[in-house]
Chain A
Amino acid sequence: MNRNFIIVAVILSAILALSFDKGPKNTVNVYGWYGILNNEILKDFEKETGIKVVYDVYDNNDTLESKLLATNSGYDVVFPSFIPYAARQCAMGAYSKLDVKLLPNLKNVEGQITDKYKKVGGDISRLIPLFWGTVGIAYDYDVIKKVFPDLKEVSYDLLLNSENIAKLSKYGVSFPEEYIDIFPQTASYLKLLNEESIKTPGKIKAYVNHYKFIRKYIKKFSSNTMISDLLSGEVAVAIGSSDNAWRARRSAKNIGKTIKYVIPKGRGILWIDCVGIPEKAPHKANAHKFLNYLLRPDVAKKITNHSGILVNIQGAKEFYTKEILEDSQICPMDKEILSELMIGTPSRTAEEAKNDKLATRAWSQIRMNEFDFLGDLR
C-alpha cells in the first residue's frame, strides 16, 4: 500500500507540474475585448512572425484598470477606452513609451480623429488611438414612423423633450449607462454649451432638473444590451454606440425589422479606444511587432468589417465592405460631421476631478430615480 501511495503522489504531482508549464516563450500576451480581434487576424500574425499570440478577454474597463495598476499584469498589449480610463492610467504611468523606430506603420495614424485625440491631451507616443465610433440614436424605423408620421429627422428632441418621449415610452426607450455618453447632448439640448466645461455644478443641476421630468419615460439604462433589446422589441429607441447599431441592423434584416442609426446633427459623440503597451510588459519587442501589424490597413480593415468598429488608420477605408462604407452615419467621412463630433476631456485639476465625481453621482441618482440630493449642489 505504501508503494501505491507513492505512485499516486508521483502521478498527481506530475499532472500538476505539467499543467503549470505553459510551453513556448516566444509569445505576446494580448488583453482585449472579446470578438474584436478575430481568429484570422491572430493566426495570420502567428504565421507571419512565428510569435504565438495569447489572447485574453476582459468584460469592462475597470477589470483592465485593476489589472494594470496591480504590480504586474503580465500583458503586453491592451486596449483601454480613452476617456476617462486611458487618460487616467497614462497619467499614473501605466504605459510605456513606444519605440517609434519599431513602428513604421504609425504614419498611418493620422487625420481628424488623431487631431481631436491630441487636442484633448491624448499622448500618441504612449497610446495610439486605434478604434473609434460615435454615440447616436438607434431606432426601430417602423415604430418611429407610426408614432411620428410627419417627422423629418430623428434628433434628441424626440428623447429629451418630455412630450415626445412620453409618446415613445410605451415602446421602450433606453439611455446610456455612463454620463459621458449623454450629458454633452443634454447640455446642447438645454443650450448650455459654451466655453466652460459641461460638468460645472450649475450645469449638472440643470441636467438633473431636466431629467426629473423625463426619467419616468425611460425604460432602461444600458449600453451593452442594446443589440438584443432592439431586436427583441424590448426597446424601440436606444442611445448607443455606432458599432452596436451596425450589428443590430445587420441582424435585424433576418427577422424582418428595420433598425436605423443616426448621428443627430451637431450632437454626435466621438469615442476612442486606444492601444498601448503596459509599463511592465514582459515581451516588449514582440508587442511592438504586434502593434505595427495592427496598424496595417489590410489588417485593421478586418476588424471593422466584422465588428462595425471603425479603425483610425489611413488607407483602411478602401478595404471596408460596401455595407459599412455606404452608410454615412455608421461610418461618417464627411469632414463637417467629423469636426462637429464632441469628445470628452480628461480632468486635469482637482476641481475637474471633483466635478467628474459629481457628474457620475448625478447620473447614478437619475438612473435610480432619486432626485432628493439636489440640495447638495450649489
Chain B
Amino acid sequence: MRRLSKTVITFLIFGYAFLFTPILFLIINAFSASEIPSIWTSFSLRWFEAVFEDSELTRAALTSLEIACISATGAVILGGLAAFATTNTSSFKGKSFLNTTIIMPIVMPEIIVGFSLLMLFMAIENAFGWPKERGVMTVVIGHIIATMAYVHITIRARLLSFDKSLEEAALNLGAKPFTVFFKIKIPILARSILSGWLLAFTLSLDDLVIASFLTGPGSTTLPILIFSNVRVGVTPAINALATIFILIVALCLIIAFLMMKQSKKPEIN
C-alpha cells in the first residue's frame, strides 16, 4: 500500500473535520448540564434521562421510525418493480416516457408533493369519505412517492450492469421465471436494494415538509417536534436523542461491516 503524502493527509483531516465537527459538538453538548444546547457548564446525564421521561419525544421518535420503516419498504417494492420494468429486455410502448416520469419526484419540490397530496386526499375524502383523517398512513404514502424515485435509480443502475447471461442460463436449465427472480436476481441485487432502502429510510426520517402537510392526530414526527420546540426553546434533550440515534446507526454500520468481512473470507480462501 502506498503511504499518503502530507498534503493529502492535511486535506483528509480538514475534510473529516468539516464533516464531523458539528456532530461532535452536538454529542459533547448532550452531556452538558446547562439548559441551552450551545453552552457547556458541567458534565451530566440529565438530558438522557429527560429523553426517556419525555413521552412526547419518545413517541415522536418511534412514530418517525415506524413511518420511515414502512415507507422505505414500500418505496423499495414499488421502486424496485419499476426498475425491473424499465430495464427489461422486452420493450413496450411508453417505456422511455415511464423512465423519465418516474424520476420526476426528485426534481419536484417537496412542498408541491405535500400540498398536491393534501389536495388529493381532501378531494378523495369528499367523494368517498376516506381517509377520514390524516395520519401515519397519509404520511407514508407521501414519503413513498417522494423516495421511490431514489430507490428506482439505485436499483436500476445495478440492473443495467447486470449480466443477463446468468438469467438466461438459469432459464435455459429449466428454472421458472419466479425462481430466477428470487434465486438469481434478488441475491445479486441485495446490496443495491439495501442501499436503496437505507436511502429511502433516511429521506423519510429527515422529512419535515411533506409530513407537516399530511400529519393528523397521533402522528407527530420527530422533525416536526424539533421544529415546534422553538416556542419553549430547544433543550439539550434533542442533542441526547440525536446522540442515541447516532450510536444506533454507528452500531448498525459496524455490524454490517463485520458481517461483510465474514462473508468475504471464504472467497479469499
Contact = CB atoms under 8 A, between A and B. Distances in A.
Interface stretch (B30-38, B156-164, B166-174, B248-256): B30-38
A29 B218 contact: yes
A228 B230 CA distance: 10
Nearest to B56: A55
B219 A255 contact: no
Interface stretch (B19-27, B99-107, B126-134): B126-134
Interface range for B: 35 or more
Top 6 closest A-B pairs, CB basis?
A74-B133, A29-B217, A35-B232, A59-B228, A224-B230, A57-B228
Interface in A107-165: none
Interface string A24-66: 0001010101111001000000000000001111110001000
Interface stretch (A1-9, A97-105, A185-193, A330-338): A1-9
B216 A232 contact: no
Interface range for A: 35 or more
B232 A54 contact: no
A231 B39 contact: yes
B234 A228 contact: yes
Contact of A71 (B41, B54, B125, B212): B125
B53 interface: yes
B206 interface: no
Contact of A1 (B33, B135, B179, B230): B179
Nearest to B181: A1
B233 interface: yes
A228 B219 CA distance: 29
6 contacts: A22-B218, A35-B231, A57-B224, A71-B122, A225-B230, A307-B232
A5 B66 CA distance: 23
A56 B229 contact: no
Nearest to A280: B133
A140 to B, nearest CB: 14
B70 interface: yes
Interface string A312-340: 00000000000000000000000000000
Contacts of B136: 19-20, 22
Contacts of B240: none
B178 interface: yes
B215 interface: yes
Interface of B: 33-39, 41, 53-56, 66, 70, 73, 118, 122, 125-126, 132-137, 176, 178-179, 182-183, 212, 215-220, 224-225, 227-234
B56 to A, nearest CB: 6
Contacts of A16: 70
B39 A1 contact: no
Given A4-B182, A73-B216, A74-B217, A227 B233 contact: yes
Chain A CB within 10 A, most for which of B137, B232, B234? B232
A70 interface: yes
A255 B55 CA distance: 29
A73 B135 CA distance: 10
Contacts of A59: 212, 224, 227-231
Contacts of A244: 233
A72 B133 contact: yes
Given A70-B118, A74-B217, A251 B35 contact: yes
Nearest to B57: A34
A20 B230 contact: no
Nearest to B179: A1
A34 B59 CA distance: 13
Contacts of A36: 231-232
A345 B245 CA distance: 46
B114 to A, nearest CB: 11
Given A70-B122, A251-B34, A254-B41, A57 B233 contact: no
A282 B122 CA distance: 17
A350 interface: no
A12 interface: yes
B219 to A, nearest CB: 7
Given A71-B125, A227-B36, A57 B225 contact: yes
Contact of B182 (A1, A31, A225, A228): A1
A247 B232 CA distance: 8
Nearest to A35: B232
A75 interface: yes
Contact of B132 (A4, A29, A72, A224): A72
B217 A75 contact: yes
Given A72-B133, A74-B134, A255 B41 contact: yes
Contacts of A72: 125, 132-133
Contacts of B232: 33-36, 247, 307
A228 B233 contact: yes
B224 A1 contact: no
B36 A232 contact: yes
Chain B CB within 10 A, most for which of A19, A57, A73, A251? A57
B10 to A, nearest CB: 32
B39 A19 contact: no
A232 B56 CA distance: 27
A34 B216 CA distance: 16
A22 B135 contact: yes
A92 interface: no
Contact of A247 (B38, B183, B233): B233
A273 to B, nearest CB: 10
A75 to B, nearest CB: 6
Nearest to A37: B56
